[in-house]
Amino acid sequence: MLDEARKLQSYVAGLRRQFHAHPELSWQELETSRLIQAELSALNIPFQVVCGTGVVGEIKGALPGPVFLLRADMDALSVTEETGLPFASEHKGKMHACGHDAHCAMLLLAARLLQARAAQLPGTVRLLFQPAEELGQGARKMVEAGVLDGVCGAFSLHVWSGLPSGKVFIPDGPAFASADLFTIRVRGKGGHGALPHEGVDAVVAGAAIVMQLQTLVSRELNAFNPTVVTVGSFKGGTQYNVLADTAVLEGTTRCFDRELRLQLPELLERIAKHTAESLRASAALDYRLGTPATINDPAAAARARQLAVALAGPEVLAAYRPLMVGEDMAYYLEQVPGAMGLLGVSGGKRTAYPHHHGKFDLDESALPFGAVLLAQNAMAGLQEK
């Protein structure tokens, strides 16, 4: 299958470049959706359009059996492309800077490989092209639309420029962290910047909260339970000589542990409130749960690693760590056993920029291997049931 996929290098790269040149933001993936639909039609694979721009194709095997789900995400980012590539973004201010273009292309190549083998398939492979991953919303909507009905297992790959081309990382258990959001509103009392004793400075209280929040991870939580608390935005005050009466902090938390995740709002609120009070200000926390942690089923992850090793030898497995990045694949893996892995796509300096960077690019020679890994996980998953 790998030889066959490699002969289709220009097919998969061509698709990726078409997606790449026409990036669309979350929930706006209309052109992307149309291209996927056209490809599935050309492959004689029936599909449905779900949640506006999502596409769900089905390859029905000749033999009876359950449904295995392969998933790709479709959306791009508000990033201005700086690669100078001939197929660079034609949509100003938007870019496929996370590699979701490659995910769609790989899944279409996997579909092509599987469609040619439908006679041997004991069950159905459901091809999920999911919108709005970057907002952490698409997967949840797709689940609500019923895409997990009858599903026995799921698999997905995320390309990753932090790994050498063609290597994979598919851990047991935690693969991606939860990603939640918080806002802290600090209230003080405005006044003249020269007379701070007559007011309450919300900027100083906000700054103290930012610093005190750092003690959560360093002094309060177990070091064996990886957690991140980031305040990414701080807005307070209006002018250099006016005492700020409000400050607004916005941030995100990341962790793998479900219980800890649900404790974090209380911990943040305690620090924010008491720190503000100690400075005569007040603080209110607004905490919104985003994407849960993506937890791989150990058996599904082991199967995926075995398949990778059988294709490319033991050195295909990269020594790496789970990412504190959020991934809404989590919503599927909360309900069905499955795994998500990273596929290395860095072939050198030009393809080593971080994700979400304006110069992000990937080594397309890794894509046929990724497509085969997707296809083989589906086949093996169906055979095991």
Give the C-alpha distances (Å, rounded to integers) separating 293 from 111, 258, 274, 340, 385: 28, 8, 29, 12, 26
Residue (1 or 343) nearer to Ni ion, CB = 343
Tokens of 227: 């957690």
**Min dist. Cβ of residue 98 to Ni ion (A):** 4
**Min dist. Cβ of residue 253 to Ni ion (A):** 19
**Min dist. Cβ of residue 354 to Ni ion (A):** 12
Our finding on whether 67 is near Ni ion (CB under 5 A) is: no
**223 CB-near residues (< 8 Å, 6+ apart):** none
**Min dist. Cβ of residue 349 to Ni ion (A):** 22
Q: Binding residues for Ni ion, how many (CB under 5 A)?
A: 1
**Min dist. Cβ of residue 103 to Ni ion (A):** 8
Q: Taking contact as CB under 5 A, which single stretch among the options 27-35, 98-106, 184-192, 335-343 is the one that binds Ni ion?
A: 98-106
Closest CA to 131 of 38, 44, 56, 46: 56
**Min dist. Cβ of residue 342 to Ni ion (A):** 10
Residue (170 or 209) nearer to Ni ion, CB = 170
Phi and psi at 257, nearest 5°, equal -85, 125
**Min dist. Cβ of residue 355 to Ni ion (A):** 7
Q: Taking contact as CB under 5 A, which single stretch among the options 9-17, 53-61, 92-100, 239-247 is the one that binds Ni ion?
A: 92-100
How many CB atoms within 10 Å of residue 149?
9
Q: What is the dihedral of CA 309, 310, 313, 314, to 10 degrees?
A: 30
Residue (50 or 98) nearer to Ni ion, CB = 98
Q: 315 burial class (0-12, 13-18, 19+ CB within 10 angstroms)?
A: exposed
Our finding on whether 55 is near Ni ion (CB under 5 A) is: no
Residue (136 or 368) nearer to Ni ion, CB = 136
Residue (178 or 246) nearer to Ni ion, CB = 178
**Min dist. Cβ of residue 11 to Ni ion (A):** 23
Strands 151-164 and 338-346 come out as parallel
The residues with which 49 forms a beta bridge, in sequence order, are 55
**Min dist. Cβ of residue 327 to Ni ion (A):** 7
Query: By CB under 5 A, what part of segment 179-208 binds Ni ion?
Result: none
Closest CA to 171 of 337, 292, 321: 321
**Min dist. Cβ of residue 92 to Ni ion (A):** 21
Query: By CB under 5 A, what part of segment 104-163 binds Ni ion?
Result: none
Our finding on whether 366 is near Ni ion (CB under 5 A) is: no
- For the beta sheet containing 246-255, the strands, ordered from the edge strand earlier in sequence to the opposite edge, are 227-236, 246-255, 178-187, 282-291
Angle CA(67)–CA(70)–CA(76) in degrees, nearest 5? 145
Give yes or no for a contact between 90 and 81, defined as CB atoms under 8 angstroms apart: no
DSSP for 31-86, written as a single string: HHHHHHHHHHHHTT--EEEETTTEEEEEEE-SEEEEEEEEEEE---BS-------T
Residue 303 CA to residue 155 CA, distance in Å, equals 11
DSSP for 278-312, written as a single string: HTT-EEEEEEEEEEPPEEE-HHHHHHHHHHHHHHH
Q: Taking contact as CB under 5 A, which single stretch among the options 57-65, 96-104, 200-208, 232-240 is the one that binds Ni ion?
A: 96-104
Residue (243 or 371) nearer to Ni ion, CB = 371
Residue (102 or 203) nearer to Ni ion, CB = 102
Tokens of 3: 């030889």
Our finding on whether 98 is near Ni ion (CB under 5 A) is: yes
Residue (98 or 127) nearer to Ni ion, CB = 98
Rounded to 10°, the helix 9-21/30-42 angle is 160
Q: Taking contact as CB under 5 A, which single stretch among the options 46-54, 95-103, 178-186, 314-322 is the one that binds Ni ion?
A: 95-103
Our finding on whether 102 is near Ni ion (CB under 5 A) is: no
Q: Taking contact as CB under 5 A, which single stretch among the options 41-49, 94-102, 141-149, 202-210 is the one that binds Ni ion?
A: 94-102
Residue (51 or 98) nearer to Ni ion, CB = 98
Chain position carrying tokens 């052109």: 31
**What is the number of the residue whose Cβ is closest to Ni ion?**
98
Residue (326 or 347) nearer to Ni ion, CB = 326
Q: Which residues bind Ni ion (CB under 5 A)?
A: 98
